[in-house]
Structure 1
Amino acid sequence: MNKLLNCALSAATWLTLCVSSASYAQWFESTGHANIQNDDISRAKSVAIKDAITQALVFSGARVTSMQTLVDGVLTQDQLKINSHGEIQKIEMISEDRRGDQFAVTLRLDIFPQQEQCPASSFNKFVAITQTQLKHREQAKLGQIFDISKASSENLYKTLSNSPISTRPTAYFNFPIRVGEFFTQQYDYSNALLEEIATRSNSQYVLLSQLVDISNSEKLNNDYAFWQDESYQRAYNIDFVLFDGTTYERLWQKSYRGKGIWPFEKTDRIDVYSENFWGSDYGQTITDINQTLSYDLQAAMACLETQGKILHIENDKLVINLGKAHGIEKGQILNVAHHNYLTDAAGNKMPNMITTLNQVQIQQVYQQSAIAQSIDKQPLPNIQINDVVELANLAL
């Protein structure tokens, strides 16, 4: 493994891939970056290390999921959410560098790749990032941060957009929506709202969230230390739930809990879109939670199927809402399926997908759409607009 071959640079992710001559191991050289907030070099270094490891894992076909501890002299006592298709054998620190308010760390990783990977993971899944709902609006009075719902959702969208993962976000955070019913145990939620969001954002999946607690605790500093600025611990507790916008199934759900120092005066009115806010300990707490969520979401969605809908029918040809951005290529074969519901004895509706014998082949591909033609070049019987198309021969 001392001889390295086939080095290729990816400018988009600052990642250099070096494949060793042995087929059973791969060396990756990856550079992670982080902003330095409040001159906290230690925290910036930790974030940069995690960024470098995440890029290497994703580039190697990894899924960033569960908690492991990496102990190699470099990451002692540091935990990162990884459970990859490749196992990290060794990590070496090559360099670290500070330039202005940016900190960079370059690592060299020895990753043992796992051969099996679900075929669906090679296709991109689009998920609508909706505006989170503040459950207790009165908690936003401190700092007058009533726009925290939109600002934190926008931050999540940017985090997902900048991550080298197959989960692709679409922006739907400009519209406030009521999400409380989606987090109840009765599953009594509106399918119509999910369908509307999925259709308007052209996304197969819909991510909903609610901020359940942003309250502040007692002051951290002493009342007698009148020369000190007031500071508080403030909670940031948020729940997420992922739905399929086609079948309306609840696919994944998780809660995140965090606390950060609120360093502002009680009477200050804080701009939640400002660098002053996001550079604070509390703003960094939100960013860290959103980064963790991006890892978990990638893991939850990696093996989900990429499905599309029929937008237009003309004789033996279809227009579908899948394209290059989803990983669709000319010549691929797709199945056509009908989507309806079955009702159980209690009156609950259950999604039911019926795959037909009809198959189509991709003829023309655009960024967000494609034109497909029936295999036998004959008009497709009993096919309707909004019927589902899915890639054929994707056996897990």
Structure 2
Amino acid sequence: MNSQLLDALTVLEKEKGISKDVIIDAIEAALISAYKRNFNQAQNVRVDINRETGTMQVFARKEVVEEVTDPRLEISIHDAMNINPQYEIGDVVEIEVTPKEFGRIAAQTAKQVVTQRVREAERGVIYSEFIDREEDIMTGIVQRTDPKYIYVSLGKIEALLPQSEQMPNEKYEPHDRIKVFITKVEKTTKGPQIFVSRTHPGLLKRLFELEVPEIYDGTVEIKSVAREAGDRSKISVHSDNPEVDPVGSCVGPKGQRVQAIVNELNGEKIDIVRWSKNPVEFVANALSPSKVLDVIVDEEEKATTVIVPDYQLSLAIGKRGQNARLAAKLTGWKIDIKSESEARELNIYPREEHDSLFQFDNTDDEHGEEQDE
């Protein structure tokens, strides 16, 4: 052990952010085990490394007693006072027992400890960096695939994209660049493990934050997201600034902003609707692109009955019920859709007191294609 090691630890401290004192303390602890193992010693010892010179000493620690029963752990009061007259029974005497061949063992042990500490520190740095990026978006490069995961390089570490989080309409090839949503960062014995997703609604939200400056600066707020990844999604947006059109901001000039997100999601259709605290308006908007004649609200059941023109019924329900299903997820309200003729037969439309009776045309807020029932 010499000053070269201390110089190396100083460099490590600067480059890796590992405290030199922390590594030296770890080396001292490891050397105690190495001493006992290599020299077949069972006594209590302390290893001391000089922080200035790098010199090393091993001290046996023995308790001062009246009568010695275990010479490895105890020293008589008579022998202790020969070392220092001030020793009393119960004190601990330290006697240097540094073996001549201990330098080689110390060097090997120090190398192992430093390597381990550097590895732990690098893992800690990576974990600290990525734990703050949970529920964030990153661009990664596909490395390889197996039946369970796609392995995506995020620079310092490979993330796992589980099969359940992969878009059904996408095929991933090595070297493909994809944007992923970080769902979970775990600390394991083998280092940090990062799980990512391509299907999470948060990915859609983050993509809009990247693409739409008004969302990034808080002028426009995304209130809710409903997504069936790879097929169709709906988002509701709102702005407290009456001069800002939240839907238009998300669509962008000639639809460029939303189209960029559609392209990133491999053609996934996206409906952007205006949020409202009034459930009548919000549910009607959420059923875009369908026109809505009336929305009857049941506050207690948090349910709505929506009346649409007969020719709009299939559009309102959507392919395999998708449009109605996404609208329900987006609004948090149950939605029961009835055609105008059916509602008239049930005598629920038109209503005498029709404070919520209106004609909606939501086709301006729709940015996908019409769906078939």
TM tier, shorter chain? under 0.3
TM-score by length of 2: 0.22
The structure with more strand, counted as a fraction of residues: 1
TM-score normalized by the length of structure 1: 0.21
Larger Rg belongs to: 2
